[in-house]
A and B are shown apart, each in its own frame.
Chain A
Amino acid sequence: MKKVLLLGLSVCLIIAFSTINGYAADVSKGLSIGAAGPFTGPAAAPGMEIFNSIKIAVDEKNAAGGIKGVKVKLVMGDDAGDAAQGVNVAEKFCADKTMYGVIGPPMSNVAEATLRMYAQCNLTCITTAASRPDLTEKGYHHFFRVNARDDAHGPAVGHFIAEDLKAKSVYVLNTKDTYSQGYADQVVATLKKLGVKKIWRDTIVASAKDYSSVLTRVKAKNPDVLVVGAKTAPDHAVMVRQMRELGIKAIYFGSEGAKDKKDFIQASEGAAEGAYLNHFAPDIYKIPEAAHYVKVYESKYGSLSGFGPPAYDATNILLNAMEKAAADGDITRKEVMKYMAQTKNYRGILGFPITFDKKGDLLGGATYIFKVVGGDFKLVKVAKGM
């Protein structure tokens, strides 16, 4: 009796697992990819730039005949930047039997919360902005990124502030979220290592719209540089505006969320002039391979801030992997994951070749440092291999 029960149970388990992991399906049953990210909420602007760029890549693929004659469907999964909603999106995507890969989530907190879920259903994820280091340190094989990690950005920013800006005293503020906390930790650690003696820290509340009381405190310290780790450009705009209003002379250095011309430079009405910021993508306008993409994007959706190009490349890399996996007319999620990991020296529009290391991280990612000059972003330094 016991043996029969055990046998029955294992048969059930095998069936259950094969339905979860298998999804081995004929390509003609449909192919879709998911776009997970904040398409509403405070980070909707960069989120939509990512989504639109994914859409351009998918449309181009479909216009060229799709994969084995099957048009690829793009499914939007809005998480509003909220981890709980991200989990719902992951559930939906995992359950979608025609889905073979996900672009995103671009925010570290959401990526962290959904990591295991996507791993359990073998769904390849390729993020275009989530930079928290430990996302790729947990031994999963489904998670890839085309952007550099915080532990590349943070040290690069620290070196830039200590060596290029020659700062003697630095005040570091960050919002209390996964990304900004990690960023600020890394910057502070690097500054300490480089011998900057006067370092102060404080945390702030995201989208509070009023930072004047913490800035009053910054003013009393009179630092050379104020580093602000915050995810959204409007927060950076408020910060830089109120800082100048209070008469703080320090150089402003913002994390990559600040790279948004409308929501940072224009919203601050001149206060952002002279500010620095780091970003994981180079100035897309200077790369010849990107000219076509830029033209298509701008004619449809307006100006680019920098979150779009990596998403366009990520989508093409994913589509390439799906194409290889589907070459025999049959496709599984595990195959897609396997071909994804084999990506080598992919030359897209980012100006550097993309290869993934064993953990899914970008090999040799770089940090790009921009300065706001004349109401626009100007590339001032490329920091590689930190």
Chain B
Amino acid sequence: MGKIRDWFSYLSHFVYAEKLESMDQILQQIPQQLINGVTVGGVYALIAIGYTMVYGILFMLNFAHGEVYMIGGFTGWWVLHLLTNSSGGLLLNGFIVIILMILFAMALTGALGMGIERFAYRPLRNAPRMNLLLSALGVTIVLRNLVLNLQGAKIRFFHTSALIPKSIQVFHIGGTVISFMRLLVIGVSIGLMAILTWFVKETKMGKAMRATAQDTEAATFMGIDVNRIILLTFLIGSALGGAAGALVGLLFTQVDYYVGYVAGLKGFTAAVLGGIGSIPGAMVGGFILGIVESLATTLISSTYKDVVSFIILILVLLIRPWGILGEKAPEKV
């Protein structure tokens, strides 16, 4: 213990000039930081799944995924806005509103994901990978500017205080605070991941998906409609990204046209960290990234929060280039 303490104080000396924190103060923050980390980690994981599923089948990085997340956020805001009357009251029960927000965000972004695949990627499927990548960047620019043109650069606010009764908005456990929205985000993200895991493992469609990821040509010979499977992959991945957008809106109460950039970057990092192409890897990567970021704020400094997560990424890439749970697959010939 003493050694760790020395190490901490050395680190703190290194990073900030103000008085250093005592061990007690650090320990006191850890449960709270874990809650903060798990919440954003769940969101990162949902976004990472979209990257990893598409990569697993098409071997391409769908950079438009961050914008899909952003549109999920706006859809959630729009549903909430439509169901709120002019004096701030809700037209439906708050819990139903939350469910509708998430479902609509998933439906719209799922459809959007399939549209992107059909019109931006499928025509280029046999072209060099670089063309697909450029097409993805093009979709990113189109989506971002579409939102910018439709609603301007205004930040939209989620007026969430009416959604849930005051008595269950915040829970105190000792000195640690956990809000209802955080529980919701953690619960929904883990729930969605569990359903996805079951779907991929147990259902026929899931089996077909895995087969396509393993060997697209062989899957075609076995009678699998590969086009349909790829569409399904985009549907699921994008819907999860959209759900993440709506959840973040509920949690952090703001969305603007630019949120997709950072979210996409974080989701991508989580996917690579966990091992790109692996769904459990994306989940693990998301949570690790979220927790590391939060703990880095307490242990080092909020200034270096993002630096720390990218240093971890670089370390993983140096030591295990295939990621935490990824497979060291031989190059396909």
Interface residues of A (CB under 8 A from B): 40-42, 44-45, 80, 176, 199-205, 207-210, 212-214, 216-217, 219-221, 234, 237-238, 241, 245-247, 263, 266-267, 269-270
Contact B254 A247 (CB under 8 A): no
Q: Is the CB of B154 within 8 A of A44?
A: yes
Contact: B161 with A213, CB < 8 Å? no
Contact A238 B254 (CB under 8 A): yes
**A40 vs B25: C-alpha distance when bound (angstroms):** 42
List 14 interface pairs A-B (beta carbons < 8 Å), by A numbering. Answer: A44-B152, A44-B154, A80-B153, A201-B16, A212-B36, A213-B298, A217-B29, A220-B21, A234-B254, A237-B253, A245-B170, A247-B170, A269-B160, A270-B161
On whether the beta carbons of A216 and B254 are closer than 8 Å, the reply is no
Stretch at the interface among B2-10, B52-60, B302-310: B302-310
Q: Give Cα A352 to B196, complex, Å.
A: 65
State in angstroms the CA–CA spacing of A213 and B177 once bound together.
12
- Chain A nearest CB from B176 CB (Å) reads 9
Asked, given contacts A42-B153, A42-B256, whether A247 binds B40 with beta carbons under 8 Å apart, the answer is no
Q: Is B248 interfacial (CB 8 A cutoff)?
A: yes
- Bound CA–CA A263/B256 (angstroms): 13
**Distance, CA A220 to CA B32, complexed state (A):** 10
Tell me if B216 is interfacial: C-beta within 8 Å of chain A. no
Contact, CB under 8 Å: B306 / A207 = no
Is B301 a contact partner of A209 (Cβ separation < 8 A)?
no
Select from chain A the residue with minimum beta-carbon distance to B28: A220
Q: In the complex, what distance in Å separates the CA atom of A371 from the CA atom of B21?
A: 32
Asked if residues B29 and A220 are in contact (CB atoms below 8 Å), the reply is: yes
Cα-based distance from A318 to B136 in the complex (angstroms): 48
Return the CB mask of B23-50 against A: 1 if under 8 Å, else 0. 0011011001100110010000000000
The 10 closest A-B pairs by CB, nearest first: A213-B297, A214-B302, A209-B252, A213-B294, A40-B153, A269-B161, A267-B157, A203-B303, A216-B32, A220-B25
CB distance from B88 to the nearest CB of A (A): 9
Q: Does B220 touch A at the CB level, under 8 Å?
A: no
Q: Which residues of B sit under 8 angstroms from A214, Cβ to Cβ?
A: 297, 302
Tell me the number of A-to-B contacts counted with CB atoms below 8 Å.
Answer: 99
- The answer to whether B154 and A238 touch across the interface, beta carbons within 8 angstroms, is no
B19 CB contacts on chain A under 8 angstroms? 200
Say whether B29 contacts A202, CB under 8 Å.
no
| Minimum Cβ distance to chain A for residue B132 (Å) | 30
Question: Which residues on the A side are within 8 Å of B258 (C-beta)?
Answer: 42, 207
CB contact list, B135-183 vs A, under 8 A:
148, 152-155, 157, 159-161, 170, 172, 177, 179
Q: A41-B153, A213-B37, A219-B29 are in contact. List 13 more A-B contacts (CB 8 A).
A: A42-B155, A80-B153, A199-B18, A200-B18, A201-B18, A203-B303, A209-B259, A210-B251, A213-B302, A217-B302, A220-B25, A221-B25, A266-B157
| Proximity string of chain B (262-273) to chain A, C-beta cutoff 8 Å, 1 when within and 0 when not | 100000000000
Contact partners of B32 in chain A: CB under 8 A? 216, 219, 246
**Contact among B161, B256, B293, B297 with A216 in the assembled complex (CB-CB below 8 Å):** B297
How far apart sit A80 and B29, CA to CA, in the bound complex (Å)? 38
- Say which residue of B37, B159, B177 sits within 8 Å of A246 (CB atoms): B177
Interface positions, chain B 209-234, Cβ under 8 Å from A, are none
Majority SS at the chain A contact face: mixed
A212 to B16, CA, bound (A): 20
Of chain A, the residue at the smallest CB distance from B294 is A213
A216 and B29 form a contact (CB under 8 A): yes
Q: A245-B179, A246-B177 are in contact. Are A202 and B253 (CB under 8 A)?
A: no
Task: Point out the residues of chain B lying under 8 angstroms from A238, CB to CB.
Answer: 252-254
> Do residues B153 and A247 form an inter-chain contact, with CB atoms below 8 A?
no
What are the residues of chain A within 8 A of B298 when measuring CB–CB? 213, 216-217
Query: Given the complex of chains A and B, what is the CA–CA distance between A44 and B252 in angstroms?
Result: 21
Among B25, B253, B305, contact of A267 (Cβ-Cβ < 8 Å): B253
Chain B neighbourhood of A267, CB < 8 A = 157, 253-254
Q: How far is the CA of A221 from the CA of B25 in the complex (A)?
A: 8
In angstroms, Cα B256 to Cα A245, docked, is 22
In this complex, what residue of A is CB-closest to B39? A212
- Which A residue sits closest to B295, measured CB to CB? A213
Tell me whether B253 and A241 are in contact (CB under 8 A). Answer: yes
Residues of A within 8 A of B248 (CB): 209
Q: Which residue of B lies closest to A234 (CB)?
A: B155
Distance in angstroms between the alpha carbons of A377 and B29 in the assembled complex: 34
Q: Tell me, in angstroms, the Cα distance from A210 to B248 when the chains sit together.
A: 9
Choose among B152, B179, B302 the residue that contacts A202 (Cβ–Cβ < 8 A).
B302
A212 to B19, CA, bound (A): 22
Q: Which residues of chain B are within 8 angstroms of A41 by Cβ–Cβ distance? A: 153
Q: Report the Cα distance A246→B154, complex, angstroms.
A: 27
Distance from A331 Cβ to chain B, minimum over Cβ atoms (Å) = 36
Interface positions, chain B 287-333, Cβ under 8 Å from A, are: 293-294, 297-298, 301-303, 305-306
Q: Enumerate chain B residues within 8 angstroms of A263, measured Cβ to Cβ.
A: 155, 157
Q: In the complex, are the beta carbons of B152 and A40 less than 8 A apart?
A: yes
Chain A's closest residue to B31 (CB) is A216
In angstroms, how far is the closest chain A Cβ from the Cβ of B253? 7
Highest count of chain A CB atoms <10 Å: which of B19, B33, B157, B258: B157
Q: Complex: how many Å from CA A263 to CA B253? A: 12
Give the residue among A40, A80, A216, A247 with the most B Cβ atoms within 10 A.
A216
Nearest CB in chain A to that of B40: its residue: A210
Complexed CA–CA distance, A200 and B17 (Å) = 9
Residues in A neighbouring B179, C-beta threshold 8 A? 245
Closest chain-B Cβ to A361's Cβ sits at a distance in Å of 31
| Contact A213 to B33, CB < 8 A, known contacts A202-B301, A245-B170, A267-B253 | yes
Chain A residues whose CB sits within 8 angstroms of the CB of B297 once the complex forms: 213-214, 216-217
Contacts of A42 in B (CB 8 A): 153, 155, 256, 258
**What residue in chain A is nearest B296 (Cβ atoms)?**
A213
A220–B16 Cα distance when bound, in Å, is 17
B305→A213 contact, CB < 8 A: yes
B240-262: which residues lie under 8 A (CB-CB) from chain A? 248, 251-254, 256, 258-259, 262
Q: Which chain A positions have C-beta within 8 A of B177?
A: 245-247
Report chain A residues within 8 Å CB of B306: 205
Whether B252 contacts A210 by the Cβ 8 Å rule is: yes
Look across to chain A and name the residue whose beta carbon is closest to the beta carbon of B157.
Answer: A267
In the assembled complex, the Cα of A201 lies from the Cα of B301 at a distance in Å of 10
Q: How far is the CB of B270 from chain A (nearest CB, A)?
A: 16
| CB-CB nearest in chain B for A232 | B155
Report the nearest B residue to A199, measured CB to CB: B18
Given contacts A42-B256, A213-B294, A270-B161, contact A204 B302 (CB under 8 A): yes
Smallest distance from the beta carbon of A250 to chain B beta carbons, Å? Answer: 15
